Structure formats: C-alpha cells, structure tokens
Amino acid sequence: MEETLKIVVLVKHVPDAQFDRHITGPGNTTDRDESILSELDEYALEAALQLAEERGGPKAGNEVIALSMGPSGAVNAVKKSLQIGAYSGVHLSDDALAGSDAAATSLALAAAIRHISADGRPVDLVLTGMASTDGETSLIPAQLAERLQFPQVTFASSLEVSGGQVSARRDAGAFSETVEAQIPAVVSVTDQINEPRYPNFKGILAAKKKKIAALSLADIGVDASQVGLAGSWTVVESAEARPPRTAGTIITDDGDAGIKLVDFLAAQKLL
C-alpha cells in the first residue's frame, strides 16, 4: 500500500453560468446569488478522492479536505463537496475578504493551508481545478505555489503519486509534457483527467455527519489590511455590460445557401 495522503481541495462557490451573471457588487465585484460549486473543481475533488481511495480511504488515515474561501453562502460549496465525498471541510470566511483579487486570495488561502498543516500533519497535496468558472484567470494555483514555495504541477490531464513524487501529463500549449515534482505540491487538473462522480443518497446523508471547520482571518494570522479590496494589488475601475448580440439575417437553405454564405463573407470583406 502506498503512503497515505493529506489532500486539500480548493472549491469555489461561483455564480451559475447557466444564468446571466452580473457585476453589481461594491468595487465592481460579481453578484453571487444563484451560486454553485464551480464545475471545474469537481475534477480536482474526484482526483483527490481517487488518490485517497487507492490508499485505503479515510480508515487508512487519508484526508481529503474541501477548503473554500468566501462569504457565508460559500459554505454550500463545501457542503456539496462533502456530499460528493470529501472527508471534511474548511470554510474561510471574513467580511474583510470581500473584493480580494488573485494576489490577496492566494495570500489568504496559503495562510489557511499552513493553518491546516499546523495540526502536526503537513498537507501533501493542494488540488485545484484548472480555473474558476467566474474569474477564469487560472492565477491561484501558480500564486499559491509561489507563496507556499511548493512545486506547481498545473493543467494536469493525468496524475499519479508514488514514493513522495507527483507525476502528471500536461497538455497546455504546443507540447504534451510529463511533469514530475516532489510533494508537497500544488496540482491543478483539467476537465480531461476524470469523470467526476455525483453525490448519491448515501453520500448526502453521510455529509451531514462530516465536520466543517469555520476559520476567520484571525484564526489564520492574516491582517484585514492584507486582503479584500484594501489588500488587493489590482482595482477594477469600471464594468460595463456588453450589449447583447442580436440575431442578424437568418435564411433557410433552398439549395444555394453555401453560395449566399460566400456572398455574405465577400460583402463583409472576410474572404
């Protein structure tokens, strides 16, 4: 049996992309009503659960901790993760965190991960999705790795951990790469890595008994001035809704639509 692992999975509560999303909050922040667990984080959670299950699951001493930072509603991303199968949850929440950019978010998350490591058992892996489905910057894994001074293994489309070493396939860019690093490491995974499981009835019931630790900034030793709008290094100065695209000409093919299409492209000077 492989050595057991302590894995933190970052999960984010994001506005549901199935609906219109709006920037209406203070400091041009996103309205977070109608939020769900970021779909891309489900792949990270699945990868964590598979690694833990290969090693005998919770009984053997593995840990899969779902960590979310966000306002009170963000606890729902943790709860959903527990229903899917995470063993325990951590919700980092503090009014001062509102409006944090990636740099401030990575500072708070790094402090939370150090706090989770401070129980005498250091975290072996921090697993994340390839991006959040709201901010879509993909900055957090890289910035966390920089702050924690862990190797980063990002955009992994396969993942193995053995003998204290992470090995992953990375397909971002013109090359397909095999990437190796020592643990502890930050690993982000793509939506190609696995098929995330759905919560079943048993999982939903079991989740009610799982623990969610609530952390404040004071708990993780971060000052309010380091995070939020005040601690961020970028400011969103304006946000304007893009005028919705309107339908143009719609034709039904009568046998010459291909030629009409080329006429249209020629008229638009696109040929």
Q: State which of positions 226-245 bind another protein (CB under 8 A).
A: 232-242, 245
The rounded Cα 83 to chain-centroid distance in angstroms is 17
Min separation Cβ 20 and another protein, Å: 7
The footprint of another protein on residues 41-100 (CB under 8 A) is none
**How far apart (Å, rounded) are the C-alpha atoms in residues 84 and 202?**
10
Q: Is 145 in the site for another protein (CB under 8 A)?
A: yes
Rule CB under 8 A: say whether 141 interacts with another protein.
yes
Q: Within positions 176 to 205, which residues make up the interface with another protein, using CB under 8 A? A: 176-181, 185, 190-192
Q: List C-alpha distances in Å: 230 to 140, 220, 225, 234, 248.
A: 19, 18, 6, 10, 45
Q: What is the Cα–Cα distance from 112 to 258, expressed in whole angstroms? A: 58
Q: Closer to another protein at the Cβ: 192 or 200? A: 192
Rank residues 70 and 184 by Cβ distance to another protein and give the closer one.
Answer: 184
Q: Which residue, 4 or 132, is less far from another protein as judged by CB?
A: 132
**Residue 143 contacts by C-beta under 8 Å, 6 or more apart in sequence?**
102, 103, 106
Q: How far is the CB of 125 from another protein (least distance, A)?
A: 13
The reply to whether 253 sits near another protein by the rule CB under 8 A is yes
Task: Decide if residue 167 touches another protein (CB under 8 A).
Answer: yes
Per DSSP bridges, beta strands 35-37 and 13-15 are antiparallel
Give whichever of 218 and 257 is closer to another protein, judged by the CB atom.
257
Q: Work out whether 256 is an interface residue with another protein (CB under 8 A).
A: yes
The smaller minimum CB distance to another protein, of residues 202 and 255, is found at 255
- Residues for the chain: how many in total? 271
The span from the CA of 165 to the CA of 188, in Å, is 15
